[in-house]
Structure 1
């Protein structure tokens, strides 16, 4: 194994335009439960773009400092920062008995950790599982972060598994995005009736999954949506955020709106941890006060969370063909800056994957 490796970094919160490829010494394992992975494939997520602009820096910097103090490891710093959460690759070193050198694995690391847009990455063993042998690294690397976020929204927060099979009705807003696409497929796997809302460019893909398709750009969209109302879960992947309570009339009694666009990190960035946290809770309480009187509907927030059990389930679905990634384009690592540029300025119709 070579001593130096390449990585893509940012040195400040000035956007993806300032990213650069640099060389660094090979990282080492510093505590039990860590795995060193040679990255074969990774992908881009909207979070990468937002983090490059400073989103979540207050919370994430605090977590990095806590980790640094806990481990006595002064190498845990804010900059240079490597973006990227998803990875698929091969184990090259490990302190964990569940993995051995040469194992093919995939997973997603927590946003406070150094990311996966590099040739070698250190990850916690709870953030990865063995990759299905039938799945390519490029395909596997497009799944974990979006898939675990979808799981957190539908299963952990939305409680889809508590509904009798075949009875749950799910509306996915923003079904053309990475999370929305996988969330719809996950809901279908659990025998929910799914209505997916996206632009016309996603119509063929969505209908191919078995979901009901709605084009939000059509004039009769609102009328069609109202006619289909009576949902148990509305998943907001379209950025309704603090306006999520406005969706409550589309719910059944005791249904819930789950949004991925909570104001928590935005508030803590602008107001600090304490004030931002308090104001976020007030915002959530206010949203629920608008809905609870009309039939027990609730507004809930969901976030990506490492979950080994969920990742194992996603791996099984991927291996069985029940979870199909929507890949827009692949770039070699040498062209990652070009991939960043397209991601920053374009509207990719699916995931952008980086092949190492």
Structure 2
């Protein structure tokens, strides 16, 4: 089979398309013929080995996992004898980041717990665009943010992978949603249901009189104090992604702010979770959320895909068709 393989950390140039042995599933695994995969920030961390602390999980001196790729969608081709939840021919999708990665390949053998059935109402590409980003948004909005109907929610960085799902998930809970993005992304954020859209190149959300019950910082670089001022009493700010300085501020000062007043400031570390992925599957099937796909690349164009994703301007998700 063909797969993307790398042996050292670095730029996308270290990625090689090679012919390798097709995997054989163990007793508790299924063999998936991969139809599509997608890029996430975790893929970039895996590629570069940065920040350095990540190497304690991914390999200190060289990559522990030779085939990158977390989010996948495909069809089950074979099952181990102990597999109970799937049959050959089932269409599935899932997040492989907790079971060895390996999604940038024509086939992958994975534990059945990493997958859920793909709704028939969506394509393989749409399914592959979903797991990490949508589960991150769900865990931030529902679990950490404790969202309630009628809450006013601000999504800073509303046009990226996590942001587009966060807008739609917050709307599905009955919130009034404001999305912050650049000029080129205003129409996309409006199209996915945001009640209000702020173009940060023209307006500063902190200068508005509005205050929010929940702010999700998906791709922000503003000081923590800015978000605190924009929160209502008892409001919550959650750092999901953005500048390193913002993450440091949230980790260092968030607990102090949270203990000294009614406003809460915290960061989110997404954890792959099959129950959450089932919930996301239900939202997909009901039409309450829909993946936004910016660009599609062939497996052989993986370097170009990483370079584009690394620019940080993708509208929604970047998908690899296998």
Please, which of 12, 31, 34 is the counterpart of residue 36 of structure 1? Answer: 31
Partners of 1:206 and 1:262 lie apart in 2 by 19
Q: Does 1:202 align with 2:185?
A: yes
Partners of 1:106 and 1:112 lie apart in 2 by 14
Counterpart for residue 290 of structure 2: 324
TM-score (norm 2): 0.88
Partners of 1:127 and 1:56 lie apart in 2 by 26
CA deviation string 1:248-270 (max 9, x = no partner): 11111221111124999xx9xxx
Q: Contact 1:158/1:258 (CA < 8 Å) preserved in 2?
A: yes
Please identify, of 18-27 and 332-341, the stretch whose mean Cα deviation from structure 2 is larger.
332-341
Counterpart for residue 256 of structure 1: 236
Please, which of 139, 154, 160 is the counterpart of residue 177 of structure 1? Answer: 160
Counterpart for residue 216 of structure 1: 200
Partners of 2:14 and 2:252 lie apart in 1 by 39
- Residue pairs, 1:344-355, within 5 angstroms: 344-345=310-311, 347-355=313-321
Counterpart for residue 50 of structure 1: 45
Residues 129, 56 of structure 1: alpha-carbon distance in 2 compared, 3 angstrom cutoff: farther
Q: Determine helix, strand or coil for the equivalent of 1:186.
A: helix
Q: Determine helix, strand or coil for the equivalent of 2:20.
A: strand
Please identify, of 78-87 and 191-200, the stretch whose mean Cα deviation from structure 2 is larger.
78-87
Partners of 1:84 and 1:349 lie apart in 2 by 20
TM-score (norm 1): 0.80
- Residue pairs, 1:206-355, within 5 angstroms: 206-211=189-194, 212-218=196-202, 220-222=203-205, 226-229=208-211, 231-240=212-221, 243-261=223-241, 284=251, 286-290=253-257, 292-293=259-260, 295-345=261-311, 347-355=313-321
Please identify, of 180-189 and 121-130, the stretch whose mean Cα deviation from structure 2 is larger.
121-130
Residues 245, 101 of structure 1: alpha-carbon distance in 2 compared, 3 angstrom cutoff: farther
How far residue 48 of structure 1 moved from its aligned partner, in angstroms, is 1.6
How far residue 197 of structure 1 moved from its aligned partner, in angstroms, is 0.4
Partners of 2:310 and 2:242 lie apart in 1 by 22
| Count of aligned pairs between the two proteins | 316
How far residue 285 of structure 1 moved from its aligned partner, in angstroms, is 5.3
Q: Determine helix, strand or coil for the equivalent of 2:155.
A: strand
Give ranges in structure 2 of 5+ residues lacking alignment: none
Partners of 2:205 and 2:152 lie apart in 1 by 18
Counterpart for residue 150 of structure 1: 137
CA deviation string 1:97-143 (max 9, x = no partner): 11011100011122562231111122232221100112111111111
Partners of 2:269 and 2:27 lie apart in 1 by 26
Q: Does 1:83 align with 2:59?
A: no
Please, which of 12, 20, 35 is the counterpart of residue 16 of structure 1? Answer: 12
CA deviation string 1:195-217 (max 9, x = no partner): 10011122112112221111010
Q: Contact 2:9/2:49 (CA < 8 Å) preserved in 1?
A: yes
Residues 263, 198 of structure 1: alpha-carbon distance in 2 compared, 3 angstrom cutoff: closer
Counterpart for residue 146 of structure 2: 159
Give ranges in structure 1 of 5+ residues lacking alignment: 66-76, 268-279
Q: Contact 2:37/2:128 (CA < 8 Å) preserved in 1?
A: yes
Q: Contact 1:37/1:91 (CA < 8 Å) preserved in 2?
A: yes
Q: Does 1:130 align with 2:117?
A: yes
